[in-house]
Every structure is written in C-alpha cells, then in structure tokens.
A = this chain, B = another copy of it.
Amino acid sequence: MNEQYKAAAEFLSRRDCFDILTHDYPDGDTLGSGFALCLALQQLGKKARVITTSLPKDYTFLQKGIVPQSFETQTVVSVDVADEKLLGCHREAYSGRIDLCIDHHMTNRIQAPLRLVDGHAAANCEILFRLFKVMGVTVTREIADNLYTGISTDTGCFRYTNTTSDTLRTAADIIDLGCDTAYINKVMFETKTRKKLALEREVYNTMEYCCGDRCAIIAVTLDIQNKVGAGDSELEGLASIPRQVEGVKIGITLREKSTGEFKISVRTDGDVNAAEFCSRFGGGGHAAAAGCSLKGSLEEVKNTLKSAVKDVL
C-alpha cells in the first residue's frame, strides 16, 4: 500500500494542470477530497481545479482558499469516483482520460494507468490525508476543513460501521490542525432546512415494511419532490431513514429521477451485503451502503426489490 502512495505522490509532483473529478450527486467526501487535493496542488505551485456536477449550498464553504485558474487540462485525477458512470454530465468529456484514480470503494471499476484504491479507508479523505504526508503538503486549516468534512460525512460522524480506530486517529490529527468541527458538525449533522423537514415528513408517510418488518422502504417520488420544492441537498441523507427502524435489516430508498426511472439506495445492518444486493441490478457500493438504478413504475420497482429482498433475508 505504501508503494501506491509513493507512486501517486511522485506522479502528482511530476505533473501539472489538473482537472479533479468528483462523482455526481456530490457528497462531503467527494467534494472534500476534490477541494483538499486542489488546495494541496495549488500550494505546491501547480494549476488545478475541481470538476463537479453541482455544489450543494451546505458545501460551498469547502471552496475557501481555492484560486480560480484557467489552463488547458494536462492531467485528470478522479476522487471518490467508483465508476466512470458516476461522472454524470462530465462522463463523455473524461471517459478513458483518467490518469490517476484515488478511491476507497472496494468495487472501484475505473481503468486508470495509476490507481490509489484503499478499500479499508472509511472515507476517501483518509487516503488523501495520508497522501498529503507523503507529498509533503502542509495541511492548512482550509485543507483540514475539507478532510474532516469528508471523513465525518462518510462515517455519519463516526457512527457507521465503516469507522475504524484509524479513522478516529486521523480525525484527531486533523482536528489538531485547526479545522472548525463546531461549524462543520452543526451544518452537516444538526441543522435541517424547512424544506428538508417538510420532505422528511412526506417521506415518513411513504414508509412501508415487508419480509416480517425486516425490510423498510421509502419512496421519494417526483410528486413529493415537486410539492416540497426539494433539491439535491434536501434529498441527501434520506437513505438512512428506513434502516433506522428497530428490527430492520435492509432499508431501501427509492428516489424518482424522472418518470419511470428510480435511483435506489440500500442500507443494511451488516448481515446483508448491500453491494452484492445492488450488483444484481448493475449497481455497487459498500457492504452496508450501496446503490443502483431501476426502471419501471413505482409499484413495479418496489415489487422487483421486494422479491430480491426475500431472496437474501
């Protein structure tokens, strides 16, 4: 593993003019990884920018300190992107062009000449913190804010089973570098917009149980999204709701992306492998959190999932 870090550090120090790719429906870990790496490269005197499909309002603070730069792309690095499919609207532009892939998804499928993939890291930002040490980057307060945001959001603030003692020690080191945990924890874990609250209320009403209450399903239909006026930032985090119910082993969230097209998020308690479950439908992810896409009517998609749940429970 150490050799992979050295190779990645050597590659980054040799190259310039970086496009840093993040995954679509961006979360704290892909954005934190992207902006942290951009800040680090700019600190080393290089040109770099972060490519995102969107930047939810709560995450805009992560850009602090980034200098906007114009250049012709020479190097492409992806962070926290498990598959080129997840580049969203940027997929076509960057397909087959990724030079270095930095990721913590065991199931990473990106074919890049250089890969730094560590499935043991709870968050991709853990990998970046280690990489920065090898690169000799000074972890400033702004970089620390990005890294802490990635680690804390990908572990549910150290609550999820992916959290290891290494995760906590890395976070401790990052806190000592001056990151603003009070602000980040408040924004990420304490505060809800009124829209988000309205959305949760609507979504609670769609909760249904199957397989002797060991599976719970919620559906975020277009009707609900339109009624509440909810955007990506409100929709994030809903996937944890169904699995929270006592006795539930598989929690499934259906998000209608367009009529007849659903993004499925699966959360499990560890007994069932979520990534394996989702791979039945061409998806993937982690053991306790994974996703896939399905087409059909709401009822059809639900029935498909319920049958699959019966198989694994």
A280 to chain B, nearest CB (A): 25
Partner of A201, one of B192, B204, B213, B270: B204
Partner of A175, one of B164, B173, B194: B164
Contacting chain B: which of A15-23, A115-123, A181-189? Answer: A181-189
- Cα distance A144–B77 when bound, in Å? 41
Q: Which label, helix, strand, loop or mixed, suits the secondary structure of the A interface?
A: helix
- Cα distance A251–B171 when bound, in Å? 28
Interface centre among A172, A185, A213, A243 (most CB of B within 10 A): A172
Given contacts A157-B158, A159-B185, A204-B204, contact A245 B194 (CB under 8 A): yes
Residues of chain A at interface, number, CB under 8 A: 40
Residue of B nearest to A198 (CB): B204
A121 to chain B, nearest CB (A): 15
A187 to chain B, nearest CB (A): 9
Given contacts A159-B157, A165-B172, A172-B165, contact A197 B207 (CB under 8 A): yes
A122 to chain B, nearest CB (A): 12
Asked if A246 and B191 make an inter-chain contact with CB atoms under 8 angstroms apart, the answer reads yes
Having A164-B175, A197-B207, A204-B204, one finds 9 other A-B pairs with CB under 8 Å, namely A157-B157, A157-B159, A161-B182, A163-B181, A165-B173, A168-B169, A168-B171, A190-B243, A197-B245
Residue of B nearest to A269 (CB): B186
- Cα distance A115–B94 when bound, in Å? 64
- Cα distance A213–B193 when bound, in Å? 11
Decide yes or no whether A307 CB sits under 8 A from chain B.
no
- Cα distance A176–B244 when bound, in Å? 26
Within 8 A of B (CB), among A216-259: 243-246
Asked if B175 and A168 make an inter-chain contact with CB atoms under 8 angstroms apart, the answer reads yes
List the B side residues contacting A158 at CB < 8 Å.
157-158, 168, 171
List the B side residues contacting A207 at CB < 8 Å.
197
Decide yes or no whether A99 CB sits under 8 A from chain B.
no
List the B side residues contacting A244 at CB < 8 Å.
190-192, 197
Decide yes or no whether A83 CB sits under 8 A from chain B.
no
Question: Contact mask A149-164 → B, CB, 8 Å, 1/0?
Answer: 0000000011111011
- Cα distance A192–B244 when bound, in Å? 6
